[in-house]
Structure 1
Amino acid sequence: MKNARGVPAVTSLPQSPQDEADHRVRRYALTMTIRIICFALMVLVQPYGWYTWVFGIAAAVLPYIAVVFANAGSDSTETIAESPVQEIEAPKPEPIAVEESTDPQVFTIREGRRDES
């Protein structure tokens, strides 16, 4: 069976919208969890030093990064992959030799009376 041109195979279809949204929510939640950890480390790690500034800058910048990544959807210009199904050409059948006979074969069916016993 040949695959119609322009019809994508199941394996080349993009991710479903629900799966893509779930993936973006998980990525946002992970980034915001890292932000909370950075904020906690900024406050709790003693003595204060240069790493306090690193944790503070990370806690301030991560919300922007999380929102940008959460809003970035999949690229709609992706090319459709070729179908993994191989198309095999069927061999051409050999012509069947037909004997030409002068008298055609005719089947005659006649109905008769049914014998009731």
Structure 2
Amino acid sequence: MKQPSITSLPPSPDADRRARMLKYTIAMSIRVVCLVMMLFVDGWWLFVCAAGAICLPYIAVVLANVGAPTADTTVLRPGGVVAIPERKAPEDDEQDRQAS
């Protein structure tokens, strides 16, 4: 039976929330840059900045709502005791060698 390791556990809720807030903040910061750049650019760059300013809020919310990828979180027999195979005593090894 495979024991769950600490690396297979999902991140804590606080760490997950912080990562999602960071993604949202970065996306919305890029949106603010797009809004400001719309005042200074001309031509097709204006269209690119406008598209970024319009589309980035949706993308930011979707990224913020997507949680961390979940690993296999099933725990087999929580709190169960794992049997350890019994070791032979050194005297038994010597008796086995002498018998053969």
TM-score by length of 1: 0.61
Q: Secondary structure at the match of 1:14?
A: coil
In the alignment, residue 13 of structure 1 is paired with which amino acid? Answer: L
Larger RCO (alpha carbons 8 Å, 6+ apart): 2
Match of 1:65 in 2: 59
Larger radius of gyration: 1
Match of 2:69 in 1: 75
| In structure 2, C-alpha distance between the alignment counterparts of 1:18 and 1:58, rounded to whole Å | 30
| In structure 2, C-alpha distance between the alignment counterparts of 1:58 and 1:90, rounded to whole Å | 65
Match of 2:17 in 1: 21
In the alignment, residue 79 of structure 1 is paired with which amino acid? Answer: D
CA shift at 1:56, angstroms? 0.4
Unaligned runs of 5+ in 1: 81-87, 98-117
Match of 2:50 in 1: 56
Q: How does 1:1-117 map to 2 (within 5 A)?
A: 5=1, 7-45=3-41, 48-76=42-70, 78-79=71-72, 91-93=87-89, 94-95=91-92
> How many residue pairs end up in the alignment?
83
| In structure 2, C-alpha distance between the alignment counterparts of 1:52 and 1:90, rounded to whole Å | 74
TM-score by length of 2: 0.70
Unaligned runs of 5+ in 2: 74-83, 96-100
| In structure 2, C-alpha distance between the alignment counterparts of 1:17 and 1:33, rounded to whole Å | 24
Identity level (%): 39
**Cα RMSD for the two superposed structures:** 2.5
Q: Deviations over 1:91-110 (max 9, x none)?
A: 5223388xxxxxxxxxxxxx
CA shift at 1:90, angstroms? 6.8
